[in-house]
């Protein structure tokens, strides 16, 4: 069900719940900033001592993800600002904008890591202190996956796309660390080019995640929203009222919320009072069934047929 992932402020209790979700997201993002920066510094330093290009690439990836977490924290903090005379619908789309800008920066990082790892593949060198590199990678991978589980839980519960980006980055970061772990292990056994292969894989991971996020956030910022199941369910709610026909259902995402416009045709014999009752009933039913629909705007016109069907 689409509604399982959507939340709204139809009541003060729901609004408080969403605000609490954003605060929890902010806390996780803030902790991630310092965690990732620390991991990145340790990995890059260990990479220099051991001569592992894969470990160094993973460290660069961790630092870039720390920057991502900082932008996510900033976006979540800003998006909680109340609507004002300039931003009438609030600041919810800031987190989508943050994710968009971040994904472009990550593409540059991914390209740099890929190129440097390719150079190391062409001119492979044996590793020094491989045990140190393996220990650092194992610790980094476990920390990243733990972060991912925490952020994914909050992102899924409150439908926060920038935090979901951060969670996906953490999954990618953890997966890359374990992949490089095995690459370094192979390199320590004499297959020296495997270390560079691990670095190349990290670069490819970064580029793939960046592309997916760039595509999704671009669609959100352009007000694209493809969810035919939700449209049909709303249509069914509206047409459950006698004398009413749906002309169009328009939806767009705004942060964790869905904004909706429903255009209907009503029987020309229907009184204004009865039409107002139906419109109120539709609004209540849609918000109750789909708790992420924050705003329901209903416009009506008289049908050209006698019974509106």
pLDDT in tens, 205-226: 888 888 888 888 888 888 888 8
Percentage of the chain modeled with pLDDT above 90: 7
Instruction: List 295's β-bridge partners, or say none.
Output: 259
The domains of the chain, with CATH numbers, are 2-221 (1.20.1510.10), 228-302 (3.30.70.1350)
| Mean pLDDT of all residues in 102-115 | 88
Rounded Cα distance between 27 and 6, Å, is: 21
Decide if pLDDT at 41 tops 90.
yes
Contacts 24+ apart (CB under 8 A), 209-214: 209/103, 209/106, 209/168, 209/169, 209/172, 210/103, 210/104, 210/106, 210/107, 210/110, 211/103, 211/107, 212/168, 213/99, 213/100, 213/102, 213/103, 213/106, 213/165, 213/168, 214/100, 214/103, 214/104, 214/107
Q: How many helices (H) and strands (E) does the chain have?
A: 8, 3
| Mean pLDDT of all residues in 152-171 | 74
pLDDT in tens, 262-303: 898 888 888 888 888 988 888 888 888 876 777 888 888 876
Q: How far is CA 94 from CA 59, 73, 97, 194, in A?
A: 28, 11, 5, 41
Percentage of the chain modeled with pLDDT above 70: 87
pLDDT in tens, 178-209: 889 999 999 888 888 899 898 898 888 888 88
Q: Which residue has the higher pLDDT, 7 or 41?
A: 41
* Mean per-residue pLDDT of the chain: 81
């Amino acid at each position: 069900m689409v509604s399982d992932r959507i939340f709204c402020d139809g009541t003060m209790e729901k609004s408080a719940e969403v605000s609490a979700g954003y605060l929890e997201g902010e806390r996780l993002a803030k902790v991630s900033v310092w965690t990732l920066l620390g991991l990145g510094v340790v990995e890059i330093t260990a990479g220099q001592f051991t001569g592992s290009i894969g470990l160094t690439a993973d460290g660069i990836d961790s630092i870039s993800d720390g920057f991502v977490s900082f932008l996510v924290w900033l976006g979540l903090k800003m998006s909680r600002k109340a609507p004002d005379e300039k931003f009438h619908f609030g600041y919810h789309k800031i987190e989508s904008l943050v994710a968009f800008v971040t994904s472009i920066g990550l593409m540059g990082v991914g390209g740099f890591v890929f190129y440097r790892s390719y150079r190391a593949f062409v001119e492979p060198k044996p590793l020094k202190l491989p045990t140190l590199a393996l220990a650092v990678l194992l610790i980094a991978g476990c920390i990243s996956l733990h972060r991912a589980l925490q952020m994914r839980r909050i992102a899924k519960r409150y439908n926060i796309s920038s935090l979901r980006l951060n969670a996906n980055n953490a999954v990618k970061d953890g997966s890359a660390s374990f992949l490089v772990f095995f690459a370094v292990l192979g390199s320590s056994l004499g297959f020296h080019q495997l270390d560079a292969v691990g670095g190349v894989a990290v670069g490819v991971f970064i580029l793939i995640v960046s592309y997916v996020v760039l595509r999704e956030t671009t669609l959100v910022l352009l007000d694209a929203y493809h969810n035919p199941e939700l449209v049909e369910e709303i249509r069914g709610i509206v047409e459950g009222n006698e004398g009413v026909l749906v002309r169009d259902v328009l939806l767009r995402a705004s942060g964790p919320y869905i904004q909706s416009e429903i255009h209907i045709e009503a029987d020309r014999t229907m009184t204004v009072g009865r039409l107002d009752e139906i419109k109120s009933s539709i609004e209540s039913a849609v918000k109750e069934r789909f708790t992420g629909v924050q705003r329901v705007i209903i416009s009506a016109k008289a049908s050209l047929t006698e019974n509106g069907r």
